[in-house]
Amino acid sequence: MPIPSPTSTVYRVDFRAPDIIFQQGFQPRGNNMNIIDHLSGRSTYGQHASFTHNSGLISTAGIRNAAIRIGYSNAQAWQMHNTGTPPTMYLYEIRGTDNMYNARAPMENYMEMYAGNTGQYRFWASRIANDAETEEWVAAGAIEPEQISRAYSLTFAARGEVPTVSEAPVATNSAFVQTGSTTSAEVYPVADGDNVTPWYMPGGRLMQRIPTAFACCFTSNEDLNKKANLNASEMICDGFKPIELESVKYDHYIKLINHHDEL
């Protein structure tokens, strides 16, 4: 599977409105720059004792429609714990810069490092299969306001419906600076020996973390046991949310991870 070429534009979805994002940009939660911690969810999702909200990296999608699909997935997650119609989300168009690294190369490198570990191999094979539809780019550090050009709205007419994406931007950033930059062609280094333990569902089925890193995740200071009481204003978008494979093309991914020699 070829590594995506550097791109001039990436995308990220968020519940926060343009007046906030255009002023603040996207800021990382912490200073953990380990990309494997980030891609596995260890540094972005705090449900498990060994997982924290300290990632110094921020994920984006290189494919616009993938970011929209992720927004829809997160609206579905929102509906699991809230009543009513999901709030408006926003699709942000971002200028690629050389602090943004492709996620697939380190995942492939890490998968090969643990080729003899069936659980690790299958876990990363499933992440790579998902990335083919997303082309994830990970920013090392902040995405500054001047990198964000415009925002499109994702609105929901009713619960369970796919979002309507505005044809024209609902807001443009007057502080945006166009420099012609692109994402990096370099490969982000992987720490040798860092071992990420995959999560398994009851019955031994592997759990998959789809890249909702640029969609919705619970705030780090909230106990996830209280998630049923959260609303959109208490949710921000910076991490991977583990979900069961059944809800993301379970049969497709099981076929891929059981035939990883075809990847």
SS3 state of residue 179: coil
Q: Which fold has domain 9-262?
A: Heat-Labile Enterotoxin; Chain A (3.90.210)
Q: Check residue 192 and give its pLDDT.
A: 55
Asked if 191 and 34 count as a contact pair (C-beta separation under 8 A), the reply is yes
Question: Half-sphere exposure of residue 113, counting CA atoms within 13 Å on the CB side?
Answer: 17
One digit per residue, pLDDT tens: the chain, 263 residues? 678 899 999 999 999 999 999 999 999 989 989 888 888 777 876 544 455 678 999 999 999 999 999 899 888 888 888 888 999 999 999 999 999 999 888 888 777 777 777 777 777 777 787 777 889 999 999 999 999 999 999 999 888 888 999 999 999 999 999 999 999 999 987 765 455 554 443 344 444 444 333 333 322 233 333 333 333 333 333 333 333 333 333 333 333 333 322 22
CA angle 237, 55, 28 (to 5 degrees): 55
Task: Supply the DSSP symbol for 57.
Answer: E
Whole-model pTM? 0.74
Domain extents in the chain: 9-262
Instruction: Provide the residue count of the chain.
Output: 263
